Amino acid sequence: MHPAFSVIIFTVASGAGYGLLFVLALLVAFGALTPSFWTGFIGFGIAFALFTLGLLSSFLHLGRPERAWRAFSQWRSSWLSREGVLAVVTYLPAGLLALLFTFFDAARGVLVVLGLLSAICAVVTVIATGMIYRSLKPIRAWYNSYVVPAYLVLGLATGLLLANALALVFAPAVATTLQFASCLALLVAALTKFLYWRYIDTMPAFSTAESATGLGHLGKVRLFEAPHTQENYLNKEMGFRIARKHAAKLRLIALVGGWLAPAVLVLFSLLLPASPALVLATIAIVLGLTGTLVERWLFFAEAKHAVTLYYGGSSV
């Protein structure tokens, strides 16, 4: 599949934003964070900025962005529509939580309810985002049980990296807990993606040129002549190819540079005072987001649509 930059930004930014919202909301709900202007303003502000950026960037990938509102009407059958609806719904409890936590001395019970609702909405929205791809049966690399967990754990890992840096400045009491949680989430993310890559490398093809054309009983099927003289939309969007050696290098960059290295940095920061620990936490954020961008580019670039079988592909 063609790795559109707008969709890559959408999934990475929204995942990190919802991951940060999930962490902050749970900390507020369980009383680990007490109402504070700067904690709320900067923490929730970053979360809202990220998933709003993701939502807006997703519109850029639409053929007719001005008609984006119509996508919300198909929630009964479309995961894309459900994701959009859930993203908008999440603003309600999350917005109230951020407002009350930042500017008002709200009752403890209200913060608990809004915190739990915000955390649930964040998780469900990321699940819906993952299901946009998990539900596409013609794309073997996406139609498997690793896709949604990968979206969840990568969003949580990047969100925890952000929360960890914020805690070092505004909430030192929870910094150590978030540092350990960040390390664990990064290691789980690395393991999940390793298993995903192994799966798509070793699983037998869903379809072949023989099964797609129904001519398998006649023998090996191959393309005799191209159906057109120049590239069309299907070739451009569905037939993107990346060399195996380049994919292997990018996987290593994401695995080591994007998740394992940040985990080591965060773990090492446990031994340091707040200021140098914050420096390492910031570097870990940059590496984590960069690695996730690389992973998401690969997620699209390595996916092959079954329609490519009609344009010379051998199997999907």
Give the per-residue pLDDT at 243. Answer: 63
Q: Which residue has the higher pLDDT, 234 or 305?
A: 305
Give the per-residue pLDDT at 170. Answer: 92
- Rounded to two decimals, what is the model's pTM? 0.90
Give the three-state DSSP class for 177: helix
Summarize pLDDT for 301-313 with one digit per residue, the tens.
888 777 766 666 6
Q: Which residue has the higher pLDDT, 192 or 76?
A: 192
Q: How far apart are the first and last CA of the chain?
A: 12
Summarize pLDDT for 48-80 with one digit per residue, the tens.
999 999 888 877 766 666 666 666 777 788 888
- Interior/surface letters 262-283, b for 16+ CB within 10 angstroms, e for the rest: bbebbbebeeeeeeebbebbeb
Summarize pLDDT for 11-33 with one digit per residue, the tens.
999 999 999 999 999 999 998 98
